[in-house]
Amino acid sequence: MQIIPVIDVRGGVAVRAVAGDRTRYRPLVTPLAKSAEPEALARAYRALYPFPTLYVADLDGIEGRGANRGLQQRIAQSWIEDGAGGTVWVDDGSLGEAPPHDSIRQVTGSETLLAAGACQMLLGGGPIPKAGILSLDFRGIVFLGPHELLAQPSRWPDAVIVMTLTRVGRGEGPDKKRVAEIVRLAGHGRKVYAAGGVRGPDDVCQLRDAGAAGVLVATALHDGKIKAGDLEKIAG
> What are the structural domain ranges in the chain?
2-235
Return the SS3 of 170: coil
Distance CA 202, CA 87 (A): 26
Contacts of 89 (CB under 8 A, 6+ apart): 4, 53, 54, 55, 56, 104, 105, 106, 107, 133
Length of the chain: 236
For residue 122, the model assigns a pLDDT of 57
| Residue 126 confidence (pLDDT) above 60 | no
Distance CA 168, CA 194 (A): 11
Q: For the domain covering 2-235, report its CATH number.
A: 3.20.20.70
pLDDT in tens, 141-192: 899 888 888 888 988 889 999 999 888 766 778 999 999 999 999 998 899 9
For residue 151, the model assigns a pLDDT of 87
116 confidence band (pLDDT: 50, 70, 90): low
Distance CA 60, CA 98 (A): 18
pLDDT in tens, 49-95: 999 999 999 999 998 899 999 999 999 999 988 666 799 999 998 88
pLDDT in tens, 9-20: 999 999 988 766
For residue 20, the model assigns a pLDDT of 65
Distance CA 164, CA 178 (A): 9
Q: What angle do CA 46, 47, 48 make, to 5 degrees?
A: 90
Distance CA 218, CA 7 (A): 7
Distances in Å between the Cα of 183 and the Cα atoms of 110, 186, 192 are 17, 5, 6
